[in-house]
Structure 1
Amino acid sequence: MSPFKLAATELRRFRGHPIRTAALVAIILIPLVYGGLYLWFAWDPYGELDQMPVAVVNEDTGATVVVNGDTTQINGGDQLVDQLKEDRIFDWQFVTAGEAQRGLEDGDYYMTITVPENFSARLASLSGTDPEQATVEFDLNDANGYVAGIMASTVESELRNQINTAVYVTFATTIFGDLTELNQGLTQAADGAHQLSDGIGSAQTGAAQLESGLGDLTAGANEVADGADQVSDGVDQAVDVAQPVVQTLADNWTQIQTGAASAADLADRANSDLDTVYSTLCGADTADADACAQLQTYIDDADEVNNDIQTANTTVQDTSTDTLDQASNDLTDLKTGAADVATGANQVADAAATAQTGAGDLADGLPELQDGADTLATSLTDAAETVPSTNPADDADNAEAYGSPVTVQEDNLNPAGTYGRGLSPFFIAVALWVFGLMAYFVLRPINARALAGPLRSVPVAIGGWLPSAALGVLSALVLYVVVDLGLGLDPKYVLATIGVSVLVILTFSAMAHLLKLALGTAGSLLIVVLLMLQLTSAGGLYPVETTPAFFQFLHPLLPMSYVVDALRVTISGGEVAHVVRALLVLGAYLVGSLAVSSVVVASRRKWKPDGLNVPLQV
């Protein structure tokens, strides 16, 4: 007879009566009842904190603070209450101090938060020279449940952020005054910066035009300077020639006047004499008409010359020596003035060139100035947008940022998610071990007929184990399906999780089979003892390093430690090497348990008188 036929024979014992069948079904469902119900109960308790009643007592009387000569009323307690109402971490109950104390003592509230009457006064002291730290009182009562207090403590940091979110408004009001005015001032400054940027843009265009115009001016000034230099040189040459002549005329002008007068008199007499000669020669009838006509022509020419001489003489006589001296001085001044004009024209050209360079530098510098104005405007706009509202309700979503400006960036390589999912490796392992305990309350560890028959010890031992192994595999699958579909286990590696669970139930059932086979009722007690030892040493609830040395010693020796380690990887992720190590250890326990069970079966075939009278049986 094969081991499988022995297993089938054992299972056929439960046919024929509903109670027997129900017993097998109960064994299969034991891990589900134990592990499933506990995981369901503790799957996500921290997600339901808003159902825990917590009392809030606001005894703050408010305070006043003088900001820039204006008296401002602040009330941090009211702002805190508004903030808590916006973010219901707990089921806030806003009550009196007496009601809060009574409720905490009676168990109606798991915690009380009290805002003392000097809360705002201490916040207002921040603007003075003797600042005081404001306090908020937290009161717990472990008589209402120690774990409830632990749960409240786990969110205390978030609660502090909510409190600080409300407090920052009071603090900012104390230090800066009305934040609305600050926002408006920043907005106006940003608008002014934008206008400045636009003005600089216009100035940049004007500077470019100015540079271009100064370029033209510089070119023209250089041409004028060159022309002025040429004029100055020409004037120098002319004056150098004319001035000595004029000066000589001035020195001899009296003599020239006398000579001019004599010449004018001589010309006038000559003209009169010609007239007399004409009258004498041409007055008679016998005069030659052609000769007289020619003579008249000469007389007309002489009249014109005489008129010119007389005019010139008049001019010479009217011109004084002083006039010539002044003309000589004017020529000298003309020379000096022309030189000054040339010098000035060169200075103008140099100044225009310098102005052109400056205009170029201005045009080049204005873009940087405009960029600075744009940056200023953007910064002021951003600053205005980041000024928080003085209404805490408006900032409820920013509680963490306002309440805790510096945060710790946390990264989890393989996050478990919920509380129950993180503990599922431990409770799945415990549930599968409990199956081994309960299975042999109903199943027999060995077939007595096979023990007395000719079948070898190994098949007999395996045949006694296979019924619990088969039922255990079915039980493990039921547990997995319900936890996954019902609670949302959603393991990272589905097949690996199922495979590890199957190997675990095979190993644990083999160990339970060995203990029950070898020790009987004492074996059942030993299974319970091993369960207790593994509960405390597997590291499923607390890190092994935080447990006493005795449990740290047991940790690497017992199989549940490796089960928890492997299921953590298959459910949440991690090093595959941990799974491989667990498979090797569990395989060793499985093979070793079956091998020792075979040895026990072999020893049982030697009948002894003591074996006929079992001292304790359950």
Structure 2
Amino acid sequence: MTTAPPTPKMQRSRLVRLIVALLVTIPLVLAAVYMWVLWDPTKKVDQMPVAIVNSDAGYVKDGEPLEAGAQVAKNLVDSKSLGFKLTDKNDAYYGLKTGHYYFVIEIPENFSETLGTIATAAQAPALMTVTFNDYDTLKASQIGGSAMEKIQQSVLKGVAATTVGGLVDGVQTLGDGLRTAADGSVQLSDGTKTLSEGTQTLVDGITGELQPGVGTAREGGAKLADGAGTLSAGLVTLQGGTDKLGDGATQVADGIEKLTGQIPLAEVEKLLKQAQAALPNSSQLSTVMTLIDGLQALKAGSRQIATELTDPNAQYRGGLNKLVDGGAQLSSGASELSAGLVKIDAGVAKVADGAVRLNEGAKQLDAGAGKLSTGLVAGSEKAPDFGDQDARVSLAQLISTPVAKQTVHVAQAQFQGPGGAVTILIIATTLIPIVVFMSFRGHRFVTDDESPRSLRTVARRGLAVSAISLAGVLVAGIGAWLWLDPAPNPVHLWQVILISAAATLMNVALISILFTLFGYIVGALSSLAWMMLQLFSYGGIWMIQTVPAPFQWLHWISPMTLVRHGYIAAFNGVPGFAPTLVSLLLLAVAGAGATLAAARYQRKRYADAVSPEADPRDEQVPEPTPV
């Protein structure tokens, strides 16, 4: 049986081995990470799945429906700048939590309304919300943010004519309106000037002619009322005198009839006619005949006079009665006319005062219209004229962007944000076991000049590495929670702890296989190389769709991919925790079994090399130096 050579002093010192392990691993990890940070995935960002949520309710503008949100969503999908998928809000944000979508673009409900009214109302630009979740993938927000800046033209396509075009049309309409208003203001100024002149003429006519004439009429009305009253009283007096005169005339007529009734005038007249015939030259008979004729005429005339003076149906008496009634009505009407003329005189005085004020207001209106005309003419000259419709559309496309984006981070990784917690934990659960293994004394199991360790020793080393690695991951996790600002806030912290523990144990088991099969140096280098390959392919730093094809294939068999899924479930509160935890534990058990199998194989190989005829299960194989 051969004796194992003495172990170098450096390998016997744990502190020295730890320092060497750190000096080897840290620069290598930093160099690899730095190299991967410089990786340019922009040529394949069109394969990144990104959700588009169109919540736009549309808008009716000038009787025409406006669907700007649908147009923007279509333009984004057609641009193929990213792997856009139009979906509903629930699917989009659930996919963001599960890692199915790298980010979500949401078009708000009032998108079309904001764009449709931007030319007529002072509003902020139409905002689209872009939501990232760095718990899922570290670089998605950076690459997505850069990509969004480049696809801004796709967002603006189709809305420029609606928004800025409407603004240009509005300004053009304003200019046309100013010019029309300027023309109208000139006409208004001319009209107010004519109004001012007319009101001045009205004032002159009212105060110079109407008001004095109404005053004279008022005075004449008063005199007319007085005269009519006097006339009416005189007519009444005349009527009374006529009554008395009629009574006297009646008495005279009665007396004459009584007088003539006592003389048979007809017989006397007959006798006188006979006597005149007998005495044709008798002058006395002629005189008597004349006297008789006069008596008859007096009788008839006196009766006629009495009738005219007393009979209401007679022409004179009836006319006198009507004249008395008309005089009374004239007196009453004249009084009313006089009272009305007094009121008219007072009203004309008020009209004259109002006309004066109207004239003053018309002068002020004329002055204001003149200033308005001057201002509108000057403003219309300064108002822009954008030309015809084609010219305005071309100009509208050159004016500022009416659509902006608002970025929301569920957990930002940049600037020591909480989103970096997942990447820190994944690196810690892999790198810390490697460092711990490298801190132990190296031992080669693949040659025949060293004795293998027993299964007990291998198991004891595995337990020791597991315990130290778990403690190291715990310290790294606490340090990350203290260093990141704000601190990470996973939905299920207990799930984070269990996934971290299971991932650490799994990595201890898998790394122990490499150290068992290949020894200290080859095991350390192969472990580090395996970790670097996983970092580039597991999808937590770079989007898996953007890395070279070989790394995409490696993504599906990488244990780190499985750990990432577990952290996504724990941090975002989505399904997947239980199957991931079971899978990690099964891998840990399988790795531990493979390590023990490798150790048993090395023991058999060593026993066969030392004593070909010895029983492989011989317990006389010397125990190695403790770890």
* Bin for the TM-score computed over the shorter chain: 0.3 to 0.5
Larger Cα-atom Rg:
2
TM-score, length of structure 2 as denominator length: 0.37
More helix by share: 1
TM-score, length of structure 1 as denominator length: 0.37
